[in-house]
Structure 1
Amino acid sequence: MQKNYLILAHRNPEQLCRMIKALDDGNSKFFIHLDAKTSIESFAAQLQGEHIVFIPRRERCVWGGFSIVIATIYLMEAAAQANSKGFFILMSGQDYPIKPITELDAFLQENKEYDFVSFLPLEAWGNWSMKRVRDKLKHYQILHSEKRGNSDCYPPFFRSSIGQKITILWHLLKRRISKKNFKIIYRAQERKAPFIQQYAGSQWWAFCEKTFYTLLTYIQENRQILDDYFQYTSCPDEIYFQSILVNLQTTHKDIKIKPSLTYVNWEREGVELPVLFKEDDFEELTSQKEKFFARKFDTRVDTTILDKLDNLQIK
């Protein structure tokens, strides 16, 4: 089974090299988007070959921002321009396979007409509060800097309450919001979503060939409408592709969806989330049914877990 891995990477070239080595079965191609804030030299020096492509268009990716969606679209377009066939699998540079690649191949062959992405109606995803749902649907996310979490969601100024207006003006006075971004909120109209129902879920997906090209064509034909809305959405990478795909099902009855192939633990108590997997998590990882990848890992913290996972591979 031909596999095309679309990888969002931003650091640790040694770990990325190790991940690609673990995935590379001779029937795989790797398209890598390296965050534009990161120097490419050390990555390119370690990762070479006709089946490894560092895409030329690079975005400065900011956590929670639309830049991650743009980077993903760049990866999709690069894979399409190469006339890629087979499955298309979105991964981060901190993922790793948790099952033998031979099992992945057999599974994809048995499910070659399915797409793998987890989703729920936006209002039901992740036990989100009504405020968080409202922020995503109605308010404008403004990124104040490239620092993770340094953002706020604001209602259109002339549709806001007295209290909300005071907050916005206070942020302007304290220079939390720039004059440029204040003008966006000041002139903003009510946000109009491109879909009646939106869906949210894990960022990590795998699409069969037919769906991949259908989805990419839809994005390219409706890019302006989609950009106008989602560029101001909080964490749009958790909503953008899910909403498009599920709404496409109404006109493309052949689109069939199963849960994501990537395991991420957002539930463990007392640790930073998502869980950074270590040696003690081996059984948790390998016991996941119909999950073939997991995130996240960090070789600067623990390499033994990757050694154990490597031993699963049958070359």
Structure 2
Amino acid sequence: MPLAFCILAHKNPEQVRGLVQALSSQRSTIIIHYDQRAPNAERRILQKLAKEHLHLSLIRPRKVNWGRWSQMQAQLDMMEAALSYNKKWTHLLTVSGQDFPLQTVEQIESFMSQHPQQSMIEWFDPFEAGRWKDACERITRWHFDSDALQRILRIPGVGRRIQGLFGWQNRIPFLPGVRRQLPSSFRWYGGSNHYNLSREAVEYVVRDSRAQSIARRLRHVASPDESYIQSALLNSPLAETLSNSDRRAIYWERPDSPSPKTLTLADLPQLHEARKQGKFFARKFDLNTDAGVLQRLASELS
């Protein structure tokens, strides 16, 4: 059962190389989006990597702003590329450049072959689950996805004053004074931005007009990559094919932390337990923080 892997990355091309090596097989398709802002030297490393792997494609990059629609669109671009690139894969898995597999490709293929129609994503009701304290803010505010604004906010001194003026401290910039109604044509869901989707589900979220209608409504929510896929599929005829698990091992220093814990060799016992539980991937890793844990996991998979 061939798989497609979509890697969204923005730094550490050598770490991405190690991830590609772990995911490569005769049957797997790998699609990479590497942020347009990355230095040309890093891009050349990945261009060389694409030439070394027959089933790897490096797609045209976007400037991705964290927590904005551009982050979701980069994933949709990879999904569309995967659909066009290979007609044989049955499931598509999304990973970041700082993920690493806990299972071999063959083990993941074997599991998916037992669930051929199923998609595995995490979902919850943002208002009932208590997971997002800012659920109402996320969906009713009009959030900007502007590269020009991001450049201004990075100017020392200037950016901080602007953020203070509009109440944007530690928040995704939004249009002040504007509140939108909750969606009435569909139910809004949230969840993890790591997905394991059947080919049919990928075709639906990328190409179906009903999904595109939901995408237009969620284009200016905060972190749409944590709600678009869930909302599109759970309001679709494919809802019954979904399993509520992203099969990822992700660890947090604090529940309200904006970024997961960076894993090291000291976390190996947890990672081994996650492998026993059937988790496909763990995150996040940083080659510059602890290369040893990546080397250890790679050796265990070989």
Correspondence for 2:219? 231
The runs of at least 4 aligned residues of structure 1 exceeding 4 Å deviation read 170-177, 267-272
Correspondence for 1:214? 204
Task: Flag structure 1 segments of 5+ consecutive residues without an equivalent.
Answer: 151-169
Task: Flag structure 2 segments of 5+ consecutive residues without an equivalent.
Answer: 155-160
Name the Cα RMSD after superposition: 3.0
CA distance in 2, matches of 1:260, 1:207: 10
Correspondence for 2:121? 117
Contact 2:166 2:176 in 1 (8 A): no
Instruction: Give the direction of change, closer, same or farther, for the CA distance of 1:43–1:83 in structure 2 (3 Å limit).
Output: closer
- Residue 146, structure 1, aligned to residue 155, structure 2: no
CA distance in 1, matches of 2:287, 2:163: 42
Deviation at 1:105, TM superposition (A): 2.1
Which residue, out of 36, 44, 47, partners 1:44?
47
- TM-score normalized by structure 2? 0.82
Correspondence for 1:133? 135
CA offsets 1:166-206 (integer angstroms, 9 cap, x no match): xxxx96995889xxx99x657x6734526442111110001
- Residue 190, structure 1, aligned to residue 193, structure 2: no
Deviation at 1:126, TM superposition (A): 5.5
Instruction: Give the direction of change, closer, same or farther, for the CA distance of 1:245–1:267 in structure 2 (3 Å limit).
Output: farther
How many residue pairs match? The answer is 282
Instruction: Give the direction of change, closer, same or farther, for the CA distance of 1:146–1:194 in structure 2 (3 Å limit).
Output: farther
Correspondence for 2:15? 15
Deviation at 1:254, TM superposition (A): 5.1
Correspondence for 1:158? none
The AA in structure 2 aligned to 1:201 is G
CA offsets 1:116-140 (integer angstroms, 9 cap, x no match): 10010111345322xx111112122
Give me the identity figure in percent.
22
Contact 2:214 2:231 in 1 (8 A): no
Matches within 5 A, 1:49-198: 49-56=53-60, 58-84=61-87, 85-125=89-129, 127-129=131-133, 132-142=134-144, 145-146=149-150, 190-191=180-181, 193=183, 195-198=185-188
CA distance in 2, matches of 1:205, 1:95: 13
Deviation at 1:65, TM superposition (A): 0.9
CA distance in 2, matches of 1:141, 1:111: 38
Please give the secondary structure, in 1, of the residue aligned with 2:235: helix
CA distance in 1, matches of 2:219, 2:193: 16
- Residue 199, structure 1, aligned to residue 189, structure 2: yes
**Which structure is larger by alpha-carbon Rg, 1 or 2?**
1
Contact 1:282 1:305 in 2 (8 A): yes
Correspondence for 1:4? 4
CA distance in 2, matches of 1:174, 1:135: 18
Instruction: Give the direction of change, closer, same or farther, for the CA distance of 1:270–1:247 in structure 2 (3 Å limit).
Output: closer
Contact 1:66 1:236 in 2 (8 A): yes
Contact 2:145 2:220 in 1 (8 A): no
Instruction: Give the direction of change, closer, same or farther, for the CA distance of 1:136–1:99 in structure 2 (3 Å limit).
Output: same
CA distance in 1, matches of 2:283, 2:164: 41
Correspondence for 2:158? none
- Residue 265, structure 1, aligned to residue 278, structure 2: no
Contact 2:123 2:244 in 1 (8 A): no
